[in-house]
Amino acid sequence: MITIATKTKRITLKLSEEESSRMFDTLVSSLLELSKTEPPKTELPKMQESEENEATAPPDKRKKYTGFLHIKCPDCGNTVSFCSKTGVSGVSCEKCGCKEPFKEPLKQVWVSCECGNKSKYLTNRTEEMFDINCINCGTPVAVKYNEKKGMYETIK
């Protein structure tokens, strides 16, 4: 498990000990290189989508999603939340090894936690309701699909 925290923000990733060690080394290396070349950024990266949209297209032509993603594996049901800067065009499950392109466009998820944190994700989940952990405090937040808006919103 890896936890990254600041005075006002926190994220925890549940990973195996080996994955945690590898991720830690990568993060520290990236942070050290970043501090040498440019001042630290205080803003979260903006979510972007590329132009391509075909799940059947070759991997380099598929729509790629960046930003905060909440992805569920269609085979084993494992869910993971992460931030992608390079773009993701499908599921790549570390638990079961499933590699599958997204079958339909990802939907927006707006998470408003009681701690005051508000987060925006994209997800491939299709359930009417599910819980997603707050990026700040880790508390599960229930979200429900709003058919009219075509997105998931926090249940109040």
Query: How far is Cα 72 from Cα 106, in angstroms, rounded to an integer?
Result: 11
Q: Write the pLDDT tens digit of every residue in 87-125.
A: 999 999 888 989 999 989 999 999 999 999 999 999 999
Q: Say which residue the tokens 């520290």 belong to.
A: 28
Q: In which residue are the tokens 């997800």 written?
A: 123
pLDDT of residue 34: 62
Nearest CA-CA partner of 23 in 45, 1, 53: 1
Bridge partners for 10 per DSSP = 5
The angle at the Cα of 106, spanning 13 to 87, to the nearest 5 degrees, equals: 60
Q: Which candidate, 38, 64, 39, places its Cα nearest to that of 51?
A: 64
Confidence class for position 24, pLDDT limits 50, 70, 90: confident
Burial class, 152, CB count within 10 angstroms (exposed 0-12 / middle 13-18 / buried 19+): buried
Amino acid at 134: C
Q: Label residue 87 left, alpha or beta by phi (over 0 means left) and psi (-120 to 50 means alpha).
A: left
Q: Where are the domains of the chain?
A: 1-43, 45-154
Q: Which residues of 60-80 are buried (b: 16+ CB within 10 A; e: fewer)?
A: eebbbbbbbbbbbbbeeeebb
For residue 5, what pLDDT band results from cuts at 50, 70 and 90?
confident
